[in-house]
Chains A and B, each alone.
Chain A
């Protein structure tokens, strides 16, 4: 019974269900044992979730959150990947820009909230801006690292075949750097999902983050709070799984190994 024996197919289903059931039972029992009136039990959370669904507020909030992530993240990808490729291609330019990026990168996107509100007012644009900031720097850094870790042999070979710099970038460097860029993109998507919830708790009045803070402030509906939190987790998981699918698809298409 160590990490390297192969468990059977039944166990593959049995153990997760057992662990989840144990956790739910523990949760249920500790709510009852502590006699709390505020913190909800799993059953109450399930009822809260059903209530949210029935009032049709849930879909609106989910769509709002996803829309903000799509815009902010999309803009970060559209600007960050080309910029990172360019900087990785010209190390001299990278040396110039790098110190500035290193200082801007660790500033929590949340800390930009006051500035975002001045620039864009309270609303969607501010939240989109925050998500853009949060995902922009990881993407640029991943693209720079991706390009600079491409073996020089590839570059020389491309040059010997008479490729011009733009062709070299599009046909050799980008596909070679792609796996590393995709990892960066996936991390950035996780950060974007983290930032949107925080931004919605402070800067706007719709979306899943707002649902969490609003359910607490208007009448201590902690069943709705926990329901919304679990939903945030599930959607984040779905985004991650979808991205992994994409990763597999793309690397098959564009990776070096499969190009003729």
Chain B
């Protein structure tokens, strides 16, 4: 009996959001039917657009191109910014010295770097990767600095009292204390990277999902492809976020202080 109830509850939990989505899609279709211009596609037109893209083999190619750029830009930024940020956060004077510069560079929209990226790297993959790198580097570095600064002094002093040398202090106290914060920062930054790659592709290169959107609009007002591209960007962004979220769970269990 109880199982039956639980199953019914689950079904209800699943059905309501689906019903809501169905209502939204219906409203969308009705809205499109009522307007006269026929520029924007309805839900069905969007599905046809996606099928069209798959049939031409463009969808997979563009997704791979976008993910390729995000992977490189994000990985490079993480590999440089995290060690640098940890070191700077550890030495108070270094942090004081670099803080004003970081604070000014951080709020610069990565897209404002586009002219400079094109000047240095030409139009192409490298420029886009550079933009993603710039967009991720500063938030990650600040996260790393703050993560080190927020370690309670007690932990460090206790480690010292137990006679840990600097390497083992870093490995056994600093590292586990910092990881949960870093993973949250990485997750936020991956979202930024996904936002930047789309914009960079709209301006600086000629492949990828951002290019798909701009190209579909400019070459013949194919708004069904535009909306299809937007949906795919949303779905992939969601998947990336979910992936980072699952990492958050695994690693914080393994390395967090609470487990020790």
Contacts and interface: CB of A to CB of B under 8 A. Distances in A.
Secondary structure call for the B interface: helix
Interface in B100-129: 100-101, 103-116, 119
Given A95-B13, A213-B115, A233-B105, A111 B91 contact: no
Interface string A61-95: 00000000000000000000000000000001001
A252 interface: no
Interface size class of A (residues with CB under 8 A): 35 or more
Secondary structure call for the A interface: helix
B97 A18 contact: yes
A236 B102 CA distance: 12
B74 interface: no
Contacts, number: 190
B17 A98 contact: yes
B242 to A, nearest CB: 9
A1 interface: yes
B237 interface: yes
Contact of B238 (A3, A106, A193): A106
Interface stretch (A143-151, A156-164, A223-231): A223-231
A203 B114 CA distance: 16
A202 interface: yes
B210 A110 contact: yes
A9 B196 CA distance: 40
Contacts of B95: 3
B253 to A, nearest CB: 21
Contacts of B39: 118
A131 B115 CA distance: 22
Nearest to A22: B97
B226 A3 contact: no
B62 interface: no
Contacts of B210: 108, 110-111
B195 A222 contact: no
Nearest to B98: A19
A103 B21 CA distance: 11
Interface of A: 1-5, 7, 11-12, 15-16, 18-20, 23, 38-39, 92, 95-100, 102-115, 118, 190, 193-198, 201-202, 208-209, 212-213, 215-216, 222, 225-226, 228-230, 232-237, 239-240
Given A106-B237, A108-B237, A194-B109, 18 more contacts: A11-B96, A19-B97, A95-B13, A100-B21, A106-B234, A106-B240, A112-B230, A114-B214, A114-B217, A115-B223, A201-B114, A209-B109, A209-B112, A228-B112, A233-B104, A233-B107, A234-B104, A239-B107
